[in-house]
């Protein structure tokens, strides 16, 4: 079995063949830390979090690098607006970012480099580009000479003349061609700057990723990923830079996540529909948000609305319900064997196989979720018909869900905590009332518990409770 990845560079699915297996070097373009991240950003980070976890699940040793862009026009403008320095702004939103992704259960990257901490590597890279004739100096700025790189436009599948036709020409440009882009920008008054061979200034946006990925991964990356809107010009430019400096491809596989819309509209400031993660995790269970994002293929556009979160929640709880039931019954399960066990055992084996097939095929999480639901049904049938239960089998089921949840992280698979003694006593009293067929008293207690957030379920094997 091999993992297939849709490579934006070739517009086709390719087998994953890392440069030095089982190692996989993985670079994800991180946030520009000038504001809180929104749900669109979160989609990208959740998707690649799952990709990374799945590669781990399949036995790869993944090294994930994700940068912070902490110096660029947006950073400078925002810092000025707020009357603080760029480093202050960066510190504030890096902290906010880490809180947000933690809330979303996104695992931190192995390395989280900041552009401003890699100025020497950036300068060194620009120097190599100048030496190789892929860059030129113009009035204190340094630009990449796109005419020197014949493959420019390959990633975005645009020809240079077509790009030129659509390019906007700003007045007062120091560039030779509208397609050229800044590697180094001369200092303007009031901007952060660093010394360089070309005078004081700061790096352009694209150069940091080329410099830092090379610094931390040395050679051609296995996977480089980001949002679809980074294809042009950001990733195109990164490729050009690395080629110009080292005559090697930056990455083997380019992955891009699709857009997220808000109630069928593009998320934008002007529409006022930007939804920050900060705001959403207040109102929704982060696991519901993850579930929603994983319910569509990562390259497809995804719509976001409160209604869709509610749908996701309802579906997710079906799985959650089954998990809780199984965990609850584990203690009382024995070692019976029979047709029921056989059926569930087969369903489990099937699920194991199918989930790998789904995920190996370009990380088809939507298909994978279907597998989890199918197994949940089989398991529910077993819980209904298989009493007395087989402990080992139930443990295997839980083990399977734990393994997959270690990739998806959409479920809470933990043994439920103890109840207050008072509440436990109420449940006992209700059971006594039911035994005495005092339905009025039993219902009164149940209502009382409901208002306290405890929901009861009467099963053939006793009363079960759960928190709502």
Residues 177-196 that bind RNA (CB under 7 A): 178
What are the strands, taking DSSP E only, across 244-312?
A: 251-257, 260-262, 265-266, 302-304
Query: If DSSP codes are grouped into helix, strand and coil, which group holds residue 136?
Result: strand
In angstroms, give the least distance from the CB of 230 to RNA.
Answer: 4
Nearer to RNA, 418 or 437 (CB): 437
Residue 360 has, within 13 A of its CA and on its CB side, a CA count of 13
Could you count the other beta carbons within 10 Å of the beta carbon of residue 451? 7
| Whether 50 contacts 294, CB under 8 Å | yes
Binding of residue 321 to RNA (CB under 7 A) = yes
In angstroms, give the least distance from the CB of 466 to RNA.
Answer: 8
In angstroms, give the least distance from the CB of 34 to RNA.
Answer: 9
- Pick the binder of RNA from 19, 343, 370, 398 (CB under 7 A): 370
Q: What DSSP state is assigned to residue 235?
A: I
302-304 vs 454-459, strand pairing mode = unpaired
Residue 68, beta-bridge partner list: 114
- Pick the binder of RNA from 239, 257, 281, 348 (CB under 7 A): 257
| Whether 319 contacts 335, CB under 8 Å | no
Could you count the other beta carbons within 10 Å of the beta carbon of residue 175? 18
How far apart, in whole angstroms, are the C-alpha atoms of residue 66 and residue 213?
A: 9
How far apart, in whole angstroms, are the C-alpha atoms of residue 277 and residue 280?
A: 5
Binding of residue 33 to RNA (CB under 7 A) = no
Binding of residue 160 to RNA (CB under 7 A) = no
How far apart, in whole angstroms, are the C-alpha atoms of residue 97 and residue 77?
A: 19
Binding of residue 57 to RNA (CB under 7 A) = no
List the x/- string, 274-313, binding to RNA by CB under 7 A. ---------------------xxx--xxxx---xx-xx--
- Pick the binder of RNA from 19, 215, 364, 419 (CB under 7 A): 364
Nearer to RNA, 73 or 200 (CB): 73
The number of helices, as runs of H, and strands, as runs of E, in the chain is 15, 15
Report whether the peptide linkage leading into residue 338 is cis, meaning its omega lies within 30 degrees of zero: no
> At CA 292, angle to CA 363 and CA 367, rounded to 5?
35
Nearer to RNA, 169 or 282 (CB): 169
In angstroms, give the least distance from the CB of 195 to RNA.
Answer: 25
Nearer to RNA, 44 or 135 (CB): 44
Nearer to RNA, 124 or 361 (CB): 361
Q: Which of residues 403-432 bind RNA (CB under 7 A)?
A: none
- Pick the binder of RNA from 81, 110, 162, 219 (CB under 7 A): 162
Nearer to RNA, 22 or 301 (CB): 301
Start-to-end CA distance of the chain, whole Å, equals 41
Binding of residue 457 to RNA (CB under 7 A) = yes
Q: What DSSP state is assigned to residue 118?
A: G
In angstroms, give the least distance from the CB of 412 to RNA.
Answer: 15
- Pick the binder of RNA from 315, 359, 404, 427 (CB under 7 A): 315
In the block, tokens 């097939």 appear at 357
How far apart, in whole angstroms, are the C-alpha atoms of residue 376 and residue 397?
A: 9
- Pick the binder of RNA from 7, 25, 41, 242 (CB under 7 A): 41
Binding of residue 343 to RNA (CB under 7 A) = no
- Pick the binder of RNA from 5, 7, 24, 31 (CB under 7 A): 31
Nearer to RNA, 18 or 386 (CB): 386
Q: Which of residues 100-119 bind RNA (CB under 7 A)?
A: none
Q: Which of residues 63-102 bind RNA (CB under 7 A)?
A: 73-74
- Pick the binder of RNA from 75, 86, 231, 356 (CB under 7 A): 231
- Pick the binder of RNA from 3, 16, 24, 29 (CB under 7 A): 29
- Pick the binder of RNA from 226, 244, 286, 386 (CB under 7 A): 226
Query: If DSSP codes are grouped into helix, strand and coil, which group holds residue 426?
Result: helix
Binding of residue 234 to RNA (CB under 7 A) = yes
Report whether the peptide linkage leading into residue 339 is cis, meaning its omega lies within 30 degrees of zero: no
What are the two backbone dihedrals, phi and then psi, of residue 206, each rounded to the nearest 5 degrees? -75, -25
Residue 402, beta-bridge partner list: none
Closest CA to 51 of 405, 380, 363, 400: 363
How far apart, in whole angstroms, are the C-alpha atoms of residue 334 and residue 357?
A: 33
Nearer to RNA, 129 or 155 (CB): 155
Binding of residue 158 to RNA (CB under 7 A) = yes
Binding of residue 455 to RNA (CB under 7 A) = yes
Q: Which of residues 119-138 bind RNA (CB under 7 A)?
A: none
In angstroms, give the least distance from the CB of 348 to RNA.
Answer: 15
């Amino acid at each position: 079995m091999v993992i297939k990845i849709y490579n934006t560079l070739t517009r086709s699915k390719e087998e994953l063949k890392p440069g030095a297996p089982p190692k996989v070097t993985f670079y994800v373009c991180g946030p520009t830390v000038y504001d809180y991240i929104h749900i669109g950003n979160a989609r990208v980070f959740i998707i690649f979090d799952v990709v990374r976890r799945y590669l781990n699940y399949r036995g790869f040793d993944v090294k994930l690098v994700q940068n912070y862009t902490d110096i660029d026009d947006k950073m400078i403008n925002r810092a000025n607006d707020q009357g603080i320095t760029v480093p202050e702004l960066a510190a504030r939103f890096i902290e906010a970012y880490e809180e947000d992704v933690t809330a979303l259960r996104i695992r931190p990257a192995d390395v989280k480099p900041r552009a401003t901490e890699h100025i020497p590597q950036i300068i060194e890279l620009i120097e190599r580009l100048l030496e190789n004739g892929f860059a030129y100096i113009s009035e204190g700025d340094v630009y990449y000479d796109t005419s020197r790189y014949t493959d420019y436009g390959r990633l975005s599948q645009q020809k240079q003349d077509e790009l030129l036709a659509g390019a906007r020409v700003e007045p007062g440009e120091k560039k030779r061609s509208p397609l050229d882009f800044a590697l180094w920008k001369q200092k303007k008054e009031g901007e952060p700057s660093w010394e360089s061979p070309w005078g004081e200034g700061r790096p352009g946006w694209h150069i940091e990723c080329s410099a830092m990925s090379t610094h931390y991964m040395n050679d051609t990356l296995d996977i480089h990923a980001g949002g679809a809107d980074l294809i042009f010009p950001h990733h195109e430019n990164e490729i050009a830079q690395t080629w110009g400096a080292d005559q090697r491809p930056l990455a083997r596989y380019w992955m891009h996540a699709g857009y997220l819309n808000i109630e069928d509209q593009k998320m934008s400031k002007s529409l006022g529909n930007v939804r920050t993660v900060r705001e959403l995790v207040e109102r929704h269970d982060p696991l519901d948000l993850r579930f929603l994002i994983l319910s569509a293929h990562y390259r497809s556009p995804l719509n976001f609305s409160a209604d869709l979160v509610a749908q996701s929640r309802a579906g997710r709880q079906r799985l959650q319900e089954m998990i809780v039931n199984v965990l609850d019954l584990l203690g009382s399960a024995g070692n019976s064997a029979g047709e029921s066990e056989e059926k569930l055992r087969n369903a489990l084996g099937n699920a194991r196989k199918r989930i790998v097939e789904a995920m190996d095929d370009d990380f088809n999480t939507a298909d994978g979720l279907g597998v989890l639901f199918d197994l949940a049904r089989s398991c529910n049938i077993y819980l209904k018909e298989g009493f007395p239960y087989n402990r080992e089998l139930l443990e295997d089921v839980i083990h399977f869900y734990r393994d997959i949840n270690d990739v998806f992280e959409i479920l809470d698979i933990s043994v439920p905590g103890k109840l207050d003694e008072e509440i436990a006593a109420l449940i006992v009293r209700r059971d006594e009332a039911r035994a005495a067929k005092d339905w009025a008293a039993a219902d009164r207690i149940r209502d009382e518990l409901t208002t306290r957030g405890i929901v009861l379920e009467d099963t053939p094997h006793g009363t079960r409770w759960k928190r709502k």
